[in-house]
Homo-oligomer: A and B are copies of this chain.
Amino acid sequence: MRGFELVKACPETGARAGLIYTKHGVVPTPAFIPVGSQATVKALAPDDLTRLGAKLILANTYHLYLRPGVELIEGLGGLHRFTSWDGPIITDSGGYQLFSLATLRKVSNEGVLFRSHIDGSEHFLTPELSIRLQERLGADIIMAFDECPPYSDDLDAIRGAMERTNLWAERCKTSLSRDDQGLFGIVQGGTFPELRRYSAQFLTSLDFPGYAIGGLSLGEPKGLMNTVVRETAALLPSNKPRYLMGVGSPEDLVCGVSGGIDLFDSALPTRVARNGALFTLGGRVNITNACFKDRDGPVEEGCDCYTCQNFSAAYLNHLFRSEELLAYRLATIHNLRFIMRLMEGIRCSILDGSFSSFRDKFLSCYQPTDEETRINQKRRWVESKRK
């Protein structure tokens, strides 16, 4: 990573338009980062991602460490060559997956002893090893190793994880051996303002090239999340990118930008697509519903994605009901293009000074998915991945 340029800040909200420079290209922000945990954005090829406007892709150190192995990817020329995606890449540190997917054996200041969710094999991951693995994978932006506890109102537990995350962030920085990757620190502290403040102060004192906000979108009420995002973003330096981890529903992206966030990642748009839930400006629709069975015309009128430009809602309905593989790709293309267009629209509105009206108009049309449904869906997904 070669730096961040703040191009314009909205005078009414916290929204910012910027540019992140990397040796694999420039990322205009605010940006959504499609998730390719296992070195592939599920159901898509790199040319699909280029066509739908993705500029930055996330891969996951935890997954790639377990399979196919970091040494193997390094030996084949690193993540860019392995995936054939030559744009910017970010790798997560593995922290989040250890606490959501793996079976934890023991967490200490030294690191995390865990069992693989794939084969039960035992591994020990430390801040130093996470950095070493991420250096070998070769992404443009890498993340500090963090402890990401579940959503809870247990102040002591959240404080402990935050303090350990701070300690680990310092060790991550110290252990860096490459200077061409941007290492982002991760602010933890749950929904406690005083913990977030402490974490943000500590991390900014270490002067990272970017900062992430972790430990949100874990089941807390959305209003609370937005408050924490806004308050935490305000504690971070304005000349560095701010990355809200694990957030990707359309309404959360708009609110996150409004709260001062520049980068987002989430498996949500691609995951729900594979269940037939497709984004429209009015909210999510389920394409498997009977009302789409004979619907001529695209899922969303006016959408410029490959799916909507070429196929009727009826055809998608048929593909999903027939469990045809093409269904998952077409739905994923639509949802990611919807999110990319949303981010493009947000950025244009920031640049031309109309962001707050863009936000209000979007939120007045878009009907968010019911909170309980959303949380249940996420829980079922995490449980299914653990099996």
A44 nearest CB neighbor, chain B only: B326
Is A76 within 8 A of B325, CB to CB? no
A274 nearest CB neighbor, chain B only: B325
Chain B min CB distance to A95 (Å): 21
Binds B, one of A67-75, A171-179, A234-242, A249-257: A67-75
Is B325 within 8 A of A328, CB to CB? yes
Chain B min CB distance to A86 (Å): 10
Is B67 within 8 A of A296, CB to CB? no
Chain B min CB distance to A226 (Å): 33
A72 contacts which chain B residues (CB < 8 A)? 293-294, 314
A84 interface hit (Cβ, 8 Å): yes
Is A321 within 8 A of B67, CB to CB? yes
8 Å CB interface, A140-161 against B: none
A322 interface hit (Cβ, 8 Å): yes
Is A38 within 8 A of B322, CB to CB? yes
Is A325 within 8 A of B322, CB to CB? no
A39 contacts which chain B residues (CB < 8 A)? 315, 318
Chain B min CB distance to A63 (Å): 8
A296 nearest CB neighbor, chain B only: B76
Copies in the complex: 2
A202 contacts which chain B residues (CB < 8 A)? none
Is B325 within 8 A of A38, CB to CB? no
Is B318 within 8 A of A67, CB to CB? yes
Interface flags, A305-319, vs B, CB<8A=1, else 0 = 010001110110111
A47, A312, A319, A324 — which one has the most chain B CB atoms within 10 A of its CB?
A324
Complex-state Cα separation, A371 to B302, whole angstroms:
52
Evaluate whether A314 and B44 lie within 8 angstroms (CB atoms) in the complex, with A67-B322, A328-B325, A329-B329 already known. Answer: no
Complex-state Cα separation, A40 to B314, whole angstroms:
13
A44, A77, A293, A314 — which one has the most chain B CB atoms within 10 A of its CB?
A314
Q: Which one of B40, B294, B314, B319 lies within 8 Å of A326 (CB-CB)? A: B40
A321 contacts which chain B residues (CB < 8 A)? 67-68
A312 contacts which chain B residues (CB < 8 A)? 76, 82
A78 interface hit (Cβ, 8 Å): no
A227 interface hit (Cβ, 8 Å): no
Q: Which one of B46, B75, B324 lies within 8 Å of A310 (CB-CB)? A: B46
Chain B min CB distance to A284 (Å): 21
A27 interface hit (Cβ, 8 Å): no
A324 contacts which chain B residues (CB < 8 A)? 38, 40, 42
Chain B min CB distance to A178 (Å): 23
Evaluate whether A294 and B75 lie within 8 angstroms (CB atoms) in the complex, with A67-B318, A322-B67 already known. Answer: yes
Complex-state Cα separation, A77 to B311, whole angstroms:
12
Q: Which one of B77, B314, B326 lies within 8 Å of A43 (CB-CB)? A: B326
CB-defined A-B contacts under 8 Å, sample of 8: A38-B322, A46-B310, A47-B306, A68-B293, A68-B314, A68-B318, A76-B312, A325-B329
Instruction: Give 18 new A-B contacts, CB below 8 A, not counting A43-B325, A45-B330, A46-B310.
Output: A40-B326, A42-B326, A43-B326, A44-B326, A67-B318, A67-B321, A68-B314, A72-B293, A72-B314, A75-B294, A76-B294, A76-B312, A76-B314, A76-B315, A82-B312, A82-B315, A325-B325, A325-B328
